[in-house]
Amino acid sequence: MKGSTVGANELAGAIAHVEERFGVHALARGRTSERHRNDLVISTKSSLDHVIGGGLVAGEPIAFIGPPSVGKLQLALRATASAQTQGGMAAWIDATASFDPLAAERAGVDLERLVVVRAQGAGAALATAAALRSEGFRLVIVDTGEPALGGMNVDDLAPALPAVRGSLAALLVVAGERGRRVAIPTFHFERVAWERRFDRTVGWSFAVGRAHATDRALFCVTSLEGALIDLGTRADPITLAV
């Protein structure tokens, strides 16, 4: 089932297949409140953890917001790999059919333990809710894409949000703009500088943080390899744009 891509209506069958093959015991059964915090938190083992409060937490949503090609997907892939390393499956809701399996593998994602669902609007909300209710997933990522290019709005996920509470999975939404009707803790991405070498652009650095907060995690992406380099954290008086 390597790099499985399914539609929203096929997700239930995909979940059944995943749980039959890998089992649901990679994630402890029981209510979220009964589990230890170490079992609930997905650590990315990077400066991002410091900014978001320790890691992504099961039963809680979080949003990465920022312009295209700034670094949101690179960090989302890193979080996916971390969730798998800690013993879980991941579901990736792909609104614009733009998921790149090669980039995922370079980031350390195990495609055997990832289900990619191509869905938009109500279908994406349905798929997200189904994945959150399954005990087989540790992390559910929704890549909304750009609405102007056929993507969806964060607000389209409103019907799925009640399924987050009590879920064994964390929800990570990757989008260009935050929703207007849904309240999801948001972390903003902003490009800091282009990296140049011998008069050629070889990558860029970007910052992640809450709006109006000074603590930011800094990263660098190399253009050729797509490698993500952790530059640490910095307390900066210049706040990120909302």
Domains of the chain by start residue, with CATH: 4-187 (3.40.50.300)
Cα(167)–Cα(79) distance, rounded to whole angstroms? 17
Please say if the pLDDT value at position 28 is more than 70.
Answer: no
pTM of the model: 0.83
Q: pLDDT averaged over the chain?
A: 83
According to the model, what pLDDT value does residue 34 have? Answer: 41
**Residue range 102-133, pLDDT digits in tens:** 999 999 999 999 999 998 888 999 999 999 99
Judge whether 139 and 93 are in contact, CB under 8 Å: no
Exposure of 44 in the CB half-sphere (CA atoms within 13 A): 28
Beta pairing partners, 70 = none
With 80 as the cut, is the pLDDT of residue 46 above it?
Answer: yes
Q: What is the pLDDT of residues 193-217, one digit of tens each?
A: 888 877 787 889 999 999 888 899 9
